[in-house]
Structure formats: structure tokens, C-alpha cells
Structure 1
């Protein structure tokens, strides 16, 4: 039976060697990549890999990312990525509470009791994204400007669509979003509660390039968005929307989105309470929306079409201004 012991020892040594080589490669590669980036765009205090013998546990401490084009900065006490040694193409990421997001003069603190993500890529040389799913609980966003919002849970996913190249299915579900306390009396004046019960999104997004290891150089951009379902439940106000948006020759959003509203009567007083519409315009807006609703044969429901054409946007008869830049040539 001695030969079984030698086989076991040899297998253990080989597996330990495999882990050591893999861990060293990961740690060296990540450290080298961070050092190769401009100092004003990414920084980290340390990079370490643990988890012997069955996991590669990567921990990056005091990670900070800065946008090269916008006054935007994100920092976190640490970021962790875990992978089983026998399937390194399946990653699990974790972020802590206390993340900081700075935009211009405003700093947001993001707290949560759980923020996890699963990332799966194809086990090939391109490492093309297969799917990513993130889950967060007890979210709280606090601004140094004096406001804060919170949500019970957030689930977001992006999955590869095998029916077309560079096409992905995007999902989002937000539950129990509690608005800032300063808005409570304004919302109550419009008959709305302080809590938004649910926000839901289901869409297919086509990109100009795949999400893979070369994405940073190719910079994939949206070329088409098929909005399968957009839903908002906010007290007695219900919104449902579907439609398609594509990038025109100049990269601006172009297309139609149909929006169905229940409880639309709350919109005019809401916009007035928020200071977006002058009080003397409330009755005029109510009359316009009432006439539009009556054309549908159901006065309690309102259907409007959001139209984007030639770099401009319009909601029903109301002009909204410039269309967003979806992509660029």
C-alpha cells in the first residue's frame, strides 16, 4: 500500500504547485496591470492571492478608479474576486460597505449588508463574457449634500444572447426604494408615498463589439436597445413601457417607446411639488393629459409615445429637448 501513499503525496505536490503557479501568475498580472495604468486613473494599496489549495482568492485593498473624461471617482476599502481552481472562468466578486463615489463636489457613500456578483466567461483565449449577475441587499446611498435614499434589494444581470453576435440580455429589479425624507411632504401633496415599490427592466442590448478581454481597447457601445419591459410601481402610479431604440448615423438615440400610465392624474401635482412645473401650468397640463387619455377610450389610463428623431426627443405632444448620445461613429 506504500505506492498509494506515494501517489497521494505526488498528487498533493502537483496540485500545490499548480495552485502556487496560478496564484503567482494572477497576483503578478493584476499588479502589473494596475502599475501600467495612469496613476490618476487607478491605484491600489496591495494585491494578494490566497485560498490554497482549492480557490484563488484575490483581494485588492484601497482600490480607487478615476474617469479620464469625467470628474468621477470611485473608491472602496477592498475588492475581492474568488475562483475555484478547477474552473477559473467562473468568478465570484464581493464588495464591502462604505464605498465612495465622487462626482465634482458631491461625494456619495454606498452602504450595504451584501453586495455580491457572479461572473462567467467562456474558457477560451478571448474570455468572452457569458453572464454576470449581481445581488445587493439593504442598500443605502448617502450624499454629503444632505440627502439619502435606500432600497431593500437590487438584482441586476447581463447575459449573452446566443441568437446574435455582441447581443446581451439586461435585467434589473429594484425593490422598496425609499426616497429622501425631504421629498415626503412634496410626494404626499401629489398623493404618492415615499416608497417606490418596484422598478423592473428587461431589455436586449446590441453592442458594437463583444465584452471580452479586449473590451477596454475596443470600447463596445450600444447600437440597439430592445426594451421588452420597463415597469414602475409607485403607490397608485403604474408605468409600463416597451419599444426599440437604435443609434442613428450621428450616434443619437432614435426610435419609439410606448409608455402606458395608470394614475397619470398624479403627474401634474407631482411636477409642481418638485418645482419642475410652474403652479399656474398645472391645470393646463392636466387638461392636455386628460384629452390624450380620453382619446384612448379609457380616461383612467394614458398612453404616450416617446419619440426620438434627428437628435431630438418628444413625449406625446411635449418636446423634451436633445436626444441622448447612444453611441458615436
Structure 2
């Protein structure tokens, strides 16, 4: 009995020591991450950093984190941020965001409010193997607009060294644009979903902010659907991207009742008249080549960001890059 008791005590002390070692390593890694950002000219501050969860978990909480790039173009701040993990499974974590946070992109602040915004991340060393983000409620508010999403899910899975399967879905999307008194058209963008394969010049890593982020080199949108009332646009895309993110490849677009959908969006205030008029002119032109007055089924070539209907340019695509 004495030997058994002694064994239990030794095992308990060993496990406790291991937990405190893991907690200390987690805290040190987090502090080092902030220090690396500061060394690169970022503002990277927090008011407190704690690790709790003994004996089975190592849950890191960062209080009042503030990140801001040197030029002020990119930033983020929140009342707290959490990374939750089982103490014996450190390569799989849950990331939890607060109900309110602020994101700055190109100097413009976006207020983010959410309910249950969480992400699961599985990694090997610094390389991300797979991740899944979900939010039953997610609201984005900028000075000029707001966007409300429900049942949002984003999934990422590594398939080869630097290729990833990417999927996105949103059960409903509503904008802040005022609705017309007539009430014509839907109250929201009913749904959106996309499935793609993405290739980068190197693997996605956890330390992306402390290093130059990977560059997207190819995108294959195998399926995407955006539904607005009676109209559903389906788009596929296969393109390579140059160093500036400018695509070259092919794109196909199909839609039924597109004219009714655009009219409803304009009536609801979701599209300014100038935008909707130009969009109607463009889609009318495309439908004359393959489709009817209200249906569309056309394939476009893309030459350095310019969609081509045969030799005819029909607009410009923005660069696909994140830095």
C-alpha cells in the first residue's frame, strides 16, 4: 500500500510538473510572438496574459490585445482573445473570439460583433493542416455599410505541401441598405457557398504575421452559388495568379431570372442605380451570346485580369491577394 501511495504521489507530482512546464512554454511562446511583431515595427500590446486549466487543459487568455501595423493600415483589437487546448494534445487548439472586436483594413475600422465565433486549428509545428471557423451570428459594421451573416462556416484543409481545399458557406446574408417602401424583393441575400482549391507559393503557417504571408498562385473555384430571391448565380473559375495577384484563366457564369434579381436588389437599395444599370448592360451582352433574355450560360477567358468574351473585353477583375 505504501508503494502504491508513493507511486501515485510521484505520478501526480510528475504530471503537475509537466503541466506547469507546458503552461510556461505556452505563455512564453505567446509573449515571444508579440515581441516578434514589435521587432518588425508593429504595435503589439496586451494588459495581461494567463494560462489556466490545470490539470487537463492549457487555456491561454490574452487580455486587451492591440495589434497595429507600422503604417496603421492593418490592425485589430479586442477585450480578450483565447487559445484553448487539451494539455496532452497541443497540436489541436480552439480559438475563441469575444462578442465584440475591431478590425482595421486600409485604415478603415470595421466593428465585428458575433455570437459563438470559434475556430478549430490543427497544426504540425508551424504548418496549418486544417481549420474550421464557425459563427451562428456574425455582424460587420463599417462607416458606409453593415453586413449581417448567419450560420457562417469556413473550412480549410491541406491536401499537398502548399495546396488547400477551401469551403465557405453562409445560410443568410443581409445588408444595411435601406429597403424600398414597396417591399419588392427579398430582405436578404438568401445564401452563399463556395468550394475551391487554392495553391500558394509555400505552406500556410501560424506565424504568418511575423513573416511575409504566402502568395496565392492558383485558384480553382469548383462550385460557387450566390442566391438572391429568385436568382442564383453559379460561378466556376480556374486561374493562375502572377506576383501581383492578377488572374489569367477561364471563368463560367450561369444564372436564371438574373434580370428580376437585379431589379429587386436595386428596388431594395442593395445596388445603386449606376451599378445595377451597368450590371444589366453587361449581363445582357453576355446573354446574347449564350442564353436568353433572363438566363445566362457563358464562359469567359481571363487575360491578366481582363475577362474576354471572344476578343471583346467585358470588365476587369481585382487582384486576388491579401497583402
TM-score w.r.t. length of structure 2:
0.86
Question: Per-residue displacement from partner, 1:37-75 (whole Å, max 9, x unpaired)?
Answer: 226432211211111111110001111222346623211
Does the Cα contact within 8 Å between 2:72 and 2:107 map onto a contact in 1?
A: no
Supply the distance in 2 between the matched residues of 1:17 and 1:34 (Cα, whole angstroms).
26
SS at match of 2:259: helix
Establish whether residue 277 from structure 1 lines up as the match of residue 274 from structure 2.
yes
How far the C-alpha of 1:196 sits from its partner, in A, is 1.2
Supply the distance in 1 between the matched residues of 2:207 and 2:103 (Cα, whole angstroms).
26
User: CA 1:192 to 1:72, structure 2 compared with 1: closer, same or farther past 3 Å?
Assistant: farther
Which residue, out of 305, 317, 329, partners 2:299? 305
**Cα RMSD, aligned residues only:** 3.0
Supply the distance in 1 between the matched residues of 2:308 and 2:181 (Cα, whole angstroms).
26
Tell me the residue number matched to 1:152.
150
Tell me the residue number matched to 1:130.
129
Which residue, out of 160, 167, 170, partners 2:163? 167
Tell me the residue number matched to 2:14.
14
How far the C-alpha of 1:233 sits from its partner, in A, is 1.2
Supply the distance in 2 between the matched residues of 1:276 and 1:253 (Cα, whole angstroms).
29
Establish whether residue 199 from structure 1 lines up as the match of residue 192 from structure 2.
yes
TM-score w.r.t. length of structure 1:
0.84
For this pair of structures, how many residues does the alignment match? 316
Supply the distance in 2 between the matched residues of 1:258 and 1:246 (Cα, whole angstroms).
15
Tell me the residue number matched to 1:24.
24
Does the Cα contact within 8 Å between 2:133 and 2:155 map onto a contact in 1?
A: yes
How far the C-alpha of 1:220 sits from its partner, in A, is 1.0
Question: Per-residue displacement from partner, 1:190-215 (whole Å, max 9, x unpaired)?
Answer: x5312111110100000100123564
SS at match of 2:134: strand
Supply the distance in 2 between the matched residues of 1:214 and 1:99 (Cα, whole angstroms).
21
Tell me the residue number matched to 2:316.
321
Does the Cα contact within 8 Å between 2:248 and 2:305 map onto a contact in 1?
A: yes
User: CA 1:314 to 1:96, structure 2 compared with 1: closer, same or farther past 3 Å?
Assistant: farther
Does the Cα contact within 8 Å between 2:222 and 2:237 map onto a contact in 1?
A: yes
The equivalences for 1:12-161 within 5 A come to 12-38=12-38, 40-68=42-70, 71-103=73-105, 106-122=108-124, 126-143=125-142, 145=143, 147-161=145-159
How far the C-alpha of 1:232 sits from its partner, in A, is 0.7
User: CA 1:252 to 1:110, structure 2 compared with 1: closer, same or farther past 3 Å?
Assistant: same
Supply the distance in 2 between the matched residues of 1:155 and 1:221 (Cα, whole angstroms).
23
Worse overlay, 290-299 or 110-119 = 290-299
SS at match of 1:320: coil
Tell me, which stretches of 5 or more residues in structure 1 are unaligned? none
User: CA 1:299 to 1:247, structure 2 compared with 1: closer, same or farther past 3 Å?
Assistant: same
Which residue, out of 171, 175, 180, partners 2:176? 180
Does the Cα contact within 8 Å between 2:229 and 2:261 map onto a contact in 1?
A: no
